[in-house]
Amino acid sequence: MKVLFIGNSHTYFNDMPHLFACMCEALTGEQTEVTMLAFSNRKLDWHCEEYFSVRFALLYGRYDYCVIQQFGHPIPPIEETEPSVEKLVHLCKSVGTKPVLYMTWAKKNEPENAGLISDIYRTLSMRHHTLLAPIGETFEALRTEHPEIDLYWFDGSHASPYGDYLIAATFASLLTGQADLSTLPDEVIDFRVRFAKEKTPSAIEDPNEVLRPADPTVTTILREYASRVARSENA
């Protein structure tokens, strides 16, 4: 399976696409290749303006899936988002790549925005006939039912290592069709190893440096929620 991720920091944080690929391989025993076009603070219209990069990747990459993530906070209104989604979805379908909308989440201190985010992504997914990964809705469910699990980074905006574990597991279950996630490793990728709270980055040259063991009690819960979402969306 080959997957292209298009988005911004909500895509690249904690090397989520790599974690997703490792999970897919654990579930299927087959190689999963991922490519990422993700840049800080970029909206989908920026990716569309940089059209030839996205065009080349999709036309010649032979991707099975393309994951599409809009700017998260604040999410642009649907009138601004839809033209970019329409353009990217059309390009995907023209080469047989299945588009997947990646629903982001509300900020930790702004849960009242969760409904708007959900409505925009669900509306666009229905209008343009795409798969949907309703990550934001799962964040809200977990915040209510398991407040002991912190899904947020220091800034209350990005995902924590556990948040990105949930995201990667949801995509892995959704795109492989595997509901049993019990074989997934109890490991997270943790950018906190080299990022200060004030978001000052330092180089991360060794991938193993950011790989950390996870609490199996927590990952068991996250896998359960990821599987539940994938079963619902694939029904």
Which structure tokens are listed for 145? 């039912």
Dihedral (CA of 36, 234, 99, 59) sign: positive
pLDDT at 152 over 80: yes
Q: Quickly tell me which residue has 């997947």 as its tokens.
A: 100
Q: 44-71, pLDDT tens digit by residue?
A: 999 999 888 999 999 999 999 999 999 9
Q: Which residues contact 103 (CB under 8 A, 6 or more apart)?
A: 117, 118, 121, 122, 132, 133, 134, 135, 136, 137
What residues does 3 pair with on adjacent strands? 34, 65
pLDDT at 204 over 90: no
Give the Cα separation of 146 and 34 in Å (integer): 31
φ and ψ at residue 37, rounded to 5 degrees? -115, 85
Which structure tokens are listed for 175? 């795109």
Average pLDDT over residues 187-192: 83
Q: 105-140, pLDDT tens digit by residue?
A: 999 999 999 999 999 999 999 999 999 999 999 999
- What is the DSSP code (8-state) at residue 68? E
Q: Which of 45, 100, 96 is nearest to 68 (CA)?
A: 100
CB 119, CB 86: distance < 8 Å:
no
Global pTM? 0.93
pLDDT at 198 over 50: no
Structural domain of 217: 2-234
pLDDT value at residue 111: 94
Number of domains comprising the chain = 1
pLDDT value at residue 114: 95
pLDDT value at residue 209: 72
Q: Beta strands of the chain (E only): which ranges? A: 2-7, 33-38, 65-68, 98-102, 131-133, 187-189, 211-213
CB 92, CB 129: distance < 8 Å:
no
Dihedral (CA of 83, 84, 85, 89) sign: positive
Q: Which CATH number goes with the domain that contains 130? A: 3.40.50.1110
Please report, as a single letter, which amino acid is at residue 78: I
Task: Kindly report the average pLDDT of the chain as a whole number.
Answer: 91
